[in-house]
Chain A
């Protein structure tokens, strides 16, 4: 069964540094997402991406965040100047059909630790 893959699995960075989290969505999927989960809390929506542009973003997704699909397969989340509160598990997801009405398939996540 095809899977969403994410790299790296763990990332430790110092406050103020830039990080890039990488994802390869399932190949025939059209919608891509980033969610985050602070330890022990719920899964929170960050951004959705369709047709090479952001289709929706949450309040969390401020100017320090950006997403990109640099080629036909990768989907990246960049955090420009990390803060301690950015420490969380970041999940990439993709879906086949209409935004939000098709099942989301999650990757295994990247655990980001900001020190």
Chain B
């Protein structure tokens, strides 16, 4: 099955800095890559997703890039704000199966 590795496990940045979270996946059949944000004690919420026919997708301060050859994808958050503090999970889906999540990155944005 699919295996998703996520780094770093924690990331501390100053408000206004950029944050980058990286994930790798193992199954070359994976074709859908969502990112979820989970605030403490709350549900994971989809913030952005990308499909394998696209290399990059942007939504305001959030962008995701995908390198199919290297089997990795990244989340980029620019101009970070304290409310961006949360745990971020990447996930991958090989189409024949359901989503496999990474272990999560705790992002801390200091004012």
Residue positions of A touching B, CB distance < 8 A: 33, 41-45, 48, 56, 91, 99-101, 103-109
Contacts and interface: CB of A to CB of B under 8 A. Distances in A.
Contacts of B34: 103-104
A109 B98 CA distance: 19
Contact of A100 (B32, B44, B103, B104): B32
Given A56-B98, A101-B93, A43 B44 contact: yes
Contacts of B44: 43, 91, 106
Interface residues of B, number: 23
B60 interface: no
Contacts of B63: none
Interface of B: 31-32, 34, 36, 42-46, 49, 51, 89, 93-95, 97-104
Nearest to A47: B98
Contacts of B98: 33, 45, 48, 56, 99-100
Nearest to A48: B98
Nearest to A102: B32
B45 A41 contact: no
B31 A43 contact: no
Given A56-B98, A104-B46, 15 more contacts: A42-B89, A42-B101, A43-B36, A45-B98, A45-B100, A56-B97, A100-B97, A100-B99, A103-B34, A103-B49, A104-B99, A105-B46, A106-B43, A107-B43, A108-B42
Contacts of B32: 100-101
